[in-house]
Structure 1
């Protein structure tokens, strides 16, 4: 498959780079893990196969051989030689066809999976491009050719249904570093996604969360979905390219399902939180 145009941002992603956090290497991987996994299932790929993660569409490619492809994650669709397909429709692409990803109306990141997966050399056990840590395969560019691997599985149906409403969190491990009023504010106020958000974290603007303790927290490990609160009191929702450690208190952690939903938040989106039970 040859890249003609990458759009605003297109990167290779898979299930992530496991087992290297002690070396300071983040897991990385697909920001929306559920949409990533569904894309691979729909074309019969193994769970860890590499896909292309496209931010706000714009990707345009040519297939040298017949292929089976699908796009998940947003309401964007694939076009084949200019003809649009359906949302999350598995498409048989003929040899020589040009395939493009449209601009989504809802959501941020789309996942293009091709039967067989993209067979680029893994780095530290993963084919994910970590742009922040500069680990993994190079970011695709116009003119690049991405090899496609051998199909190993059978396509299965996927369910794109997602709940709506507030993002669910489990409080802690450092909610006691904030005043009771701040915790109440966190669980009741509305926040707005800032343009500075990226695959490291979703940055939010809204009511500042006051600390109950003035000292600084010793650096400790963090995970995807951690809601870290820097000194300005505005939360940051860590995503897949987050650092392996952090020095600011984590007031809560998103549930895995809510972390996937957070991956699709655009700048300007409004966010609320609710405690998971």
Structure 2
């Protein structure tokens, strides 16, 4: 087979702390215990697809805290979105939220982003991983889909698409930082929360929004663990046990220790702890970019 006829591929030289294949996820399987998975920051994934002319469901790479190094086999067109990880090819910087070519044999290296958590590497044609229940996504909860990337893995790029990008570069707001408007470290990320089905289980659910919470280092793709003054249950529900109920992306579940957990894409499909609120869909994307140690304020909305 000639070099020109060979498939376009990306070789993983280094995977970074965690890099997974993600698309929009699996839908319609909650009844049999299979969660959604998919890109944690949906808007960033969709932007990468749009900038390359891919279908929305094309698979991209979700890179946590940089560190990814990829080598091209044949020329590929790439785009980086989400957390703005400094990117370089042979020491020369590459843009963010704008397509660029990684030529045959060249290596792309991503450093740790100065803010935000997850960077998306999209390639024109998408990542051609096997479909499992209609999705190419890695599910870290169930183990479905391709495993997290390891050094030496070879990723095949999908076939050419007939769609063409409508823009060459996108203006976008970077992920939230802890810096306030005056440049100090007092900035707090605010997320809008809708009332949950078990709001009445708590003595004062308004306590959820009284003071900021801190993102725990134990957070992952399953959920963001928040640390702060514990929420207290109402007397009527102090010793009550809740039968398992269905869970959704963005649900804020409160275990017995009173420290909320904000569910992300790989969350369990059921849970037996009360859900005090549900983060608005658009704000779940912002939450997916929060780093351990950041401060978060939850704001009730109707």
The answer to whether the superposition gives a TM-score over 0.5 is yes
Q: Give me the whole-angstrom Cα distance separating, in 2, the residues matched to 1:163 and 1:115.
A: 24
Q: Hey, what's the Cα distance between the residues in 1 that align with 2:276 and 2:160?
A: 43
2:64 matched to 1:62?
no
Identify the residue that residue 177 of structure 1 maps to in structure 2.
201
1:260 aligns with 2:285: yes
1:154 aligned onto 2:179: no
2:262 to 231, 237, 243: 237
C-alpha spacing 1:104/1:174, structure 2 compared with 1 (3 Å):
same
Distance in 1 (CA, whole Å) between partners of 2:26 and 2:277 is: 24
Superposition deviation, residue 77 in structure 1: 3.2
Q: Which runs of 5+ in 2 are unaligned?
A: 1-9, 177-188
Residue pair 1:167, 1:272 contacting (<8 A) in 2 also: yes
Check the 8 A contact 1:45/1:151 in 2, yes or no: no
Map of 1:87-102 to 2, 5 A cutoff? 87-102=96-111
Tell which deviates more after alignment, 195-204 or 68-77.
68-77
Residue in structure 1 matching 2:241, options 204, 210, 216: 216
Q: Secondary structure at the match of 2:156?
A: coil
Instruction: Report what 2:191 is aligned to.
Output: 167
Deviation string for 1:237-271 (max 9, x for gaps)? Answer: 00000010010000000011110111011110001
Displacement of 1:87 after TM fit?
Answer: 2.6
Structure 2 match to 1:201: 223
**Deviation for aligned residue 1:70:** 0.9
Query: Could you tell me how far apart the structure 1 residues matched to 2:31 and 2:88 are?
Result: 43
1:184-222 C-alpha deviation (Å, 9 max, x unpaired): 211121110111100001001101111111211111001
Q: 2:117 aligns with which of 94, 108, 119?
A: 108
Please state whether the residue corresponding to 1:272 is helix, strand or coil.
strand
Q: 2: distance between equivalents of 1:163 and 1:252?
A: 23
Q: Which has the larger radius of gyration?
A: 2
TM-score normalised by the chain length of structure 2: 0.88
- Residue of structure 2 equivalent to 1:186: 208
Alignment coverage as a number of residue pairs: 275
Aligned partners of 1:225 and 1:238 also within 8 Å: yes
Deviations 1:163-187 (A, max 9, x none): 964101101111111113xx12111
Secondary structure at 1:41's aligned position in 2?
Answer: helix
Greater Cα offset, 220-229 or 80-89: 80-89
- The aligned counterpart of 2:179 is none
Deviation at 1:104, TM superposition (A): 0.2
1:81 aligned partner: 90
CA contact (8 A) 2:141 2:268 kept: no
Q: What CA distance in whole angstroms lies between the structure 2 residues aligned with 1:89 and 1:47?
A: 17
Deviation, 1:162, is: 6.7
Comparing 78-87 with 48-57, which one deviates more in the overlay? 78-87
1:130 to 132, 136, 139: 139
The 1-side partners of 2:281 and 2:102 are apart by 33
- Does structure 1 conserve the Cα–Cα contact (< 8 Å) formed by 2:242 and 2:272? yes
SS of the counterpart of 1:17? coil
Contact 2:195/2:300 (8 A) holds in 1 = yes
Could you tell me how far 1:159 is from its partner in structure 2? 4.7
8 Å Cα contact 1:191-1:270 kept in structure 2 = yes
